[in-house]
Structures are given as structure tokens and as C-alpha cells.
Amino acid sequence: MKKTLLILALAIGLLSFSQRGDMKNRIKAQKVAFITEKLSLTSDEAQKFWPIYNAFDATTDNVRSNDLRGIKQALRKNPDMSDSDAEKLLNQLIAAEDKMHNAKVKLISDLKGVISAKKIIRLKRAEDEFNRELLKRLRERHSKNRD
């Protein structure tokens, strides 16, 4: 009986993890299509643009999952931390934010040789629009599930 429950729990966990991975891949595919359309990338531009953008995306994902997630967890665990702990956490936050900023600066610098300045500006707008739309859909989905 215990083995059956353990196997069932593992299967549910793996299914949930798999679904999260599938969701992440679907969102990424939608983002690629959205940005490509909004920037009106030619095939030559897209071929050069996406490796640069994907490297940026991997860097920022890494900072979010490794650096910022740890900071948020520390805040949740101990909101009434000592001043010295808060100082350490603040320094970690500044370092993580610096990494994010440097990644954005590198993205812009690398893209300057690939697409026009106008398209780089449109990229920021497209990212913001995509994120707003994604949040809207997630909220709608969440409210549907609650009803």
C-alpha cells in the first residue's frame, strides 16, 4: 500500500513538473512568434537576432532562478532579520540587479549590429505587451479555476 501511494505521488509530481515544462515551452514559442511579428524581422535578421536574444533570456532566467529566488526565499523565511543579515541580502540583491542590467546592456549592444535602433526600441515595447497579455491570460485562467 505504501509503495502504491509513493508511486502515485511520484507520478503526480512528474506529471505536474512535465506540464510546467510544457507550459513554459508553449509560452516561449508564443513569445518568439509575438516578437518576430511585432519587430517585422526578416529571415536574415531573425537568424542573427534569436541566438543573441536567447543568450540574454538564458542569462536573465539564470539570475531569476538562482539569485533572485534565493533572496525572495530568505525574505519569506525571515522577514524580521537582523541588520547584518539584511545588509548581506541587500548586497546580494544589488549584485543580482547589476547582472540583470548588464545583460540588458549587452543585449542592446549586441543587437545594434543586427537590427535597427528603432527595432530595438520596439523590442522593449513588444516584451512589455507580451508580458501584459500573458499576465492577463493567467489571471483569467486563475479566476476561471476559482469559480
Residue 40: which region, alpha, beta or left (left: phi > 0; alpha: psi -120 to 50)? left
Q: Which of 39-68 are b and which e, b meaning 16 or more Cβ less than 10 Å from the residue's Cβ?
A: bebeeebbebbbebbeebeebbeebeeebb
Q: Are 109 and 121 in contact (CB under 8 A)?
A: no
Number of domains composing the chain:
1
- In tens digits, what is the pLDDT along the chain, a chain of 147 residues? 444 443 444 444 444 444 556 888 999 999 999 999 999 999 999 999 999 999 999 999 999 999 999 999 988 888 888 999 889 999 999 999 999 999 999 999 999 999 999 999 999 999 999 999 999 998 998 888 876
Cell numbers representing residue 11 in the block: 507520478
Parent domain of 95: 2-146
Model's pTM, two decimal places? 0.77
Cell 548581506 locates to 88
Please tell me whether residue 113 adopts helix, strand or coil conformation: coil
pLDDT of amino acid 23: 85
Closest CA to 56 of 16, 114, 8: 114
Q: How far apart are CA 53 and CA 44, in angstroms?
A: 15
